[in-house]
A and B are shown apart, each in its own frame.
Chain A
Amino acid sequence: MTPGASGIRRILVALDASADSAAALEAAVALAARLEAELTGLFVEDIEVVHAAGLPFAREIRVFQHTPHSLDAAELEAQLRARARAIERTLARSAAEADVPFRFRRVRGRVDAEVLAATGEVDLVVLGRAGHSPLARRRLGSTARAMLARGSRPVLLLGRRTRLREPVFAVFDGSQAGARALAVATDLARSGKEPLHVIVAADDDERARDLERTARRALGPQAQGAVVDRLVGADGARLPEMAWEAGAGVLVVPAAGPAVADETLLDALDAAGCPLLLVR
């Protein structure tokens, strides 16, 4: 398949060997295969961990072996190297299976900063909703938050136990980001196995009708099989639920649009039961 309207050619996936990142990798490989994009796997060695391990009184409390364990820098380095190798192996295997070209990068620094820095060279970032951070399970991970706050690229965010699949749902609110969301969704839905769903979000019926026309024009030939629903004057928070009820496989939303305020994003992700692709 040739590159589509979305122009996504390079995909970055942040990997840290957590369960969420494994889901992210799977989705990133699938996307890269679908869009014929190049995949870059990024493993950031958290500088905080390196610093912490270097402190004279640093003691590691292990999850299963609860007695404090003195962790020196050399041991930590070894652990990090092992982790990087494991991640690279997994990436290589997944990419090879899907016949996707890939690169692997290992950097050291603040995780959010390094990921953010790496996004400058790519068209799409794929993230698990939280990494290894012990506190992120009920919250969006710090990296994801940094990406949403400061990033300029579309982000595909995967929740726990979610997989990227069809049908593709896109939210169109008339904004520029909305137009790009439509373009990305069109690319994703090009296999034609399942129809593309477009949810037109507007304050009133008239605007909704206008937007629907715009959306159909934007879709071009793919408008034929597309399903368009209108969401008029409703709270944006209803969107993810609608997607879940309709069995959405991925929800493409404009980043500044409804339902994606940072603080509610996690709820949205849980409610939708499928990955969210935030388009700017």
Chain B
Amino acid sequence: MPDEPRPVPADQLYRSTDLSAVPFDTTDDLEAFDGLLGQERAEEALELGLGVEGDGYNIFAHGPNAGDKALQVRRILTARAAARPPAFDWCYVNNFDDENKPLHLRLPAGRGARLRQDLDAFAGELQSALAAAFESEEYQARRQALEQQSESEQQEGLEAVQERAQQRALRLVRTPMGFIFAPVKDGDVVAPQELEKLSDDEQQRIQKAVEELQEELQLLLRQDPGRQRQLAQRVRELDREFAELAVRDLIGDVKRRYPDEDVVLAHLDAVQVDVTDNARTLVESGGRAGGQIQAMAQQQREHILERYQVNVLVSSEEGDGAPVVYEDNPNYQNLIGRVEYRSQFGALTTSFGLIRGGALHRANGGYLVLDARKVLMQPYAWEALKRALSSRKLVIESPGQALGLISTSSLEPEPIPLDLKVVLLGERQVYALLEALDPEFPELFKVQADFGATPERTPEQQALYARLVAHLAQRQQLRPLDRGAVARVLEHSARLVGDSRKLSSQTRPIADLLREADHLGRARGDGPTTADDVQGAIRARTHRADRIRDELLEQVLRGTVRIATQGSRIGQINGLAVLQTAELAFGRPSRITARTRLGDGRILDVEREVELGGPLHSKGVMILSGYLKAHYAPETPLSLSASLVFEQSYGAIDGDSASSAELYALLSAIAELPLRQDLAVTGSVNQLGEVQAIGGVNEKIEGFFDLCAARGLTGEQGVLIPGTNLQHLMLDERVVSACRDGRFHVWAVDTVDQGMELLTGLPMGRRDESGAYPDGSVNARVEARLRHLADIRRSLRSNANGPGVEEDGP
């Protein structure tokens, strides 16, 4: 026979906080603790992921409390980052061989910005240096010499032609567009009418001479373009020579500042060559041409000068740690960067200067923290992130390019090598889904940091929790909390996780509670926040959310929903369910009834028949029939038909926490023994008749207590809970105080027998040596009834070939 069930002592209904080991008066005396409680496993995982060098050692940190987790991750990252060297500066510069493919420069921290300044200064001085070179007397003299030489060549040719013309009495006459050979007489060109006076022979002679000279002149003029080209070429060489002289010192100044940066020196060499090639354009203003040509020339100069600039994508300072970047809006472009365009004469153009870095650029060499859900919700962002991580390269391209949808020419910046750790934050479900659906995910995120652990309520953790409370109060600039208030907060934390031996790791609801308690305390007066303030805040918080609970309770009190809290009834019992609204979980009593008659051993679960019962509920009901078959008249077939109903339940039901209540109701109906209606029952049973733990025990007890209290406590009322749920009890102070005064009772039961005895007031009874239950026991009555039903059934069946038992099946 199991032990007599006894009411649970009041001191076990609520585990108070013992903070005696922590000396403090108010939280101001405590060193604030800014961390996460009990997440050692996750933190170790994080440290491992961050420590291991190698592909794919990125981290997915999951757990329920997003804000705290993000903070903690960033705290750990920041601490690690501070001990690491700063990241490199990354710049893009013009590629003088192919402007569509800008080149990157990797520089030590801080050097990128300096190089930009140096080259800006260089470009600023360049034009005046070049202008000075081209205006120098030496340059002018040499250029004039070249031009004169070229002119002289043409001049000599023309003179020779003219000379030959003169010898033949002809003159080379300049027309508005060219030349004509005309005969000369007495120093003047012969007028047409004069020509007619000449003899035919003479005219023919002149014509022939003209034709010959024309050919000669043509030949000469044909050489002119070639000579012009040659002159232009020589002038270009001269320009180049002077430009080189002018630019050498300027660029040399810059070079001396980067003696060890080979990439910079190579780039500066390229700049030098380019300046030399474009020197003439840089100093010419478009001359006397009109406004538009001048504007275009100006634009061309600006374009050339822009090419010497440095586009610093990422820059840090010497002495900075490695970067820790959190990108709140991780869309495609914010992650991998983009190329901007600007409108120029109605067309969109771009250049290396319009390359913009993304979060991956900023975090390169350090850590990037992203919200997994946000990344997944942004089109193409997840794929881009994976591509960057698996290739370890940062390729800036538009989504259209990445998808191969756009083939217009655009920039193809040189990919930047990527070396960073990505920490994704998200819920466990997101992690599980990615793990299951994305084959690349396990390769790229090899470490999971599980922040889901619930801290133990040990003295050490409680002390730490007190310091956490101190931190939360200080962070929100609240008044300090006294010892009582801290203790009450701790107890509330335990209640939040529904376990007297655990603490909640979520700080957001605690931080809110502190603020609200502080608000109440200020209204009350001076001094630190007290336990009463905290209690008041908890009550107010509950009150704000419990309209639905109140309405349900009102329905019971008004009799709309039938729940008895006194007397006894056969086949009827008070079960307990937990309802969850957005803010509040609460217990609600529910009447469960059982009816029996002769049948073939089936127990009809009405909830399942109408598809309101979930699978766990059905399982619980099926266990009942297993229990009946094993316990009573095992030698005879179960000749009973029973139906079980959650009365006035209009929604879905799941879970097996009512299975003990259903069993009690069933046994009551079979034995035709009334059950106490002033008790409510929760707990699941197994086939052996053991009562097992259920969830939401505190809410369930409080739900029945509220109803009884509203009707007036009789001193007999109480709740039966599984003994294994004792450790979870963190009951409301009103329940605890009623129990202490004997006005309400919580009974811990371990077996169906204990429960049944409480509910019927009769002993359950054990089989004696003959195998029979003692008379007057519950078991004896149950077995007698079942045997009776079996007898009837047997007699009906043996009664010739009469019609069988009316089947009570589906």
Q: Which residues of A contact B (CB under 8 A)?
A: 46-49, 51-69, 71, 76, 79-80, 82-83, 110, 132-135, 137-138
Contacts and interface: CB of A to CB of B under 8 A. Distances in A.
B178 A49 contact: no
B218 A54 contact: no
Interface in B135-155: 151-152, 155
B168 to A, nearest CB: 14
Nearest to B215: A68
Nearest to B172: A134
A135 B158 contact: yes
B1 interface: no
A51 B190 contact: yes
Interface stretch (B179-187, B438-446, B578-586, B784-792): B179-187
A60 B175 contact: yes
Interface stretch (B206-214, B261-269, B505-513): B206-214
B71 to A, nearest CB: 72
Given A53-B180, A55-B192, A134-B172, 9 more contacts: A51-B189, A55-B182, A55-B195, A58-B182, A59-B210, A62-B178, A110-B188, A135-B162, A138-B159
Contacts of A71: 175, 180
B221 interface: yes
Contact of A59 (B151, B155, B180): B180
Interface of B: 151-152, 155, 158-159, 162, 171-183, 188-192, 195, 206-207, 210-211, 214, 217-218, 221-222, 224-225
15 contacts: A48-B188, A51-B191, A56-B192, A57-B210, A58-B180, A58-B182, A59-B180, A59-B214, A60-B180, A64-B225, A71-B175, A76-B176, A79-B177, A82-B176, A83-B176
Contacts of A57: 206-207, 210-211
Contact of B174 (A51, A134, A138): A134
A48 B183 CA distance: 10
Contact of A49 (B175, B206, B210, B214): B175
Contact of A63 (B152, B188, B221): B221
Contacts of A61: 178-180, 214, 217-218, 221
A49 B151 contact: no
Given A49-B174, A60-B180, A63-B221, A134 B192 contact: no
A133 B175 CA distance: 9
A134 B176 CA distance: 12
A51 to B, nearest CB: 4
A165 to B, nearest CB: 15
Nearest to A22: B288
A62 B132 CA distance: 39
Contacts of B175: 49, 52-53, 60, 71, 76, 79
Given A57-B206, A83-B176, A134 B162 contact: yes
A110 B184 CA distance: 14
A57 B211 CA distance: 9
A110 B189 CA distance: 10
A199 B298 CA distance: 43
B211 to A, nearest CB: 8
Nearest to B163: A135
Given A51-B182, A51-B189, A60 B221 contact: no
Contact of A138 (B155, B189, B195): B155
A48 B173 CA distance: 7
Contacts of B221: 61, 63, 66
Given A52-B182, A134-B162, A60 B177 contact: yes
Contacts of A56: 192, 195
A133 B179 CA distance: 10
Contacts of A49: 173-176, 180
Contact of A133 (B151, B174, B178, B190): B174
Contact of A48 (B171, B218, B222, B224): B171
Given A48-B182, A66-B222, A80-B176, A55 B190 contact: yes
Contacts of A54: 191-192
A180 to B, nearest CB: 33
B176 A55 contact: no
Contact of B218 (A68, A76, A137): A68
Contacts of B179: 60-61, 63, 134
Most buried by B among A46, A55, A64, A76: A55
A135 B217 CA distance: 13
Nearest to A58: B180
Contacts of A132: 174
A69 B178 contact: yes
Nearest to A18: B174
A70 B90 CA distance: 68
A46 B174 CA distance: 9
Contacts of A51: 182, 188-192
Contact of A134 (B158, B182, B210): B158
B218 A79 contact: no
B292 to A, nearest CB: 18
Contacts of B176: 49, 76, 79-80, 82-83
A132 to B, nearest CB: 4
B343 to A, nearest CB: 35
A257 to B, nearest CB: 27
A69 to B, nearest CB: 7
A76 B180 CA distance: 12
A76 to B, nearest CB: 7
Most buried by A among B174, B191, B225: B174
Most buried by A among B158, B174, B175, B222: B175
A134 B162 CA distance: 9
Most buried by A among B155, B172, B180, B214: B180
A53 B189 CA distance: 11
A55 B183 contact: yes
Nearest to A59: B214
A275 to B, nearest CB: 17
Contacts of B173: 46, 48-49, 52
Nearest to A79: B176
Contacts of B222: 66
Nearest to B170: A52
Contacts of A55: 180, 182-183, 190, 192, 195
A82 B189 CA distance: 23
Nearest to B196: A56
A267 to B, nearest CB: 13
Pick the 4 closest A-B CB pairs, nearest first. Answer: A52-B182, A62-B178, A54-B192, A48-B189
A53 B217 CA distance: 17
Contacts of B207: 57
Contacts of B195: 55-56
Contacts of B214: 59, 61, 68
Contacts of B162: 134-135
Contacts of A66: 218, 221-222
Nearest to B179: A61
A110 to B, nearest CB: 8
Contacts of B181: 52, 59
A132 B162 CA distance: 15
A69 B217 CA distance: 13
Contact of B189 (A52, A64, A67, A79): A52
B153 to A, nearest CB: 11
A47 B158 CA distance: 22
A142 B195 CA distance: 25
Nearest to B208: A57
B564 to A, nearest CB: 112
A273 B511 CA distance: 88
B180 A137 contact: no
A94 to B, nearest CB: 12
B203 to A, nearest CB: 8
Contacts of B190: 51, 55
A54 B172 CA distance: 15
Nearest to B159: A135
A22 to B, nearest CB: 10
A203 to B, nearest CB: 32
Contacts of B218: 61, 66-68
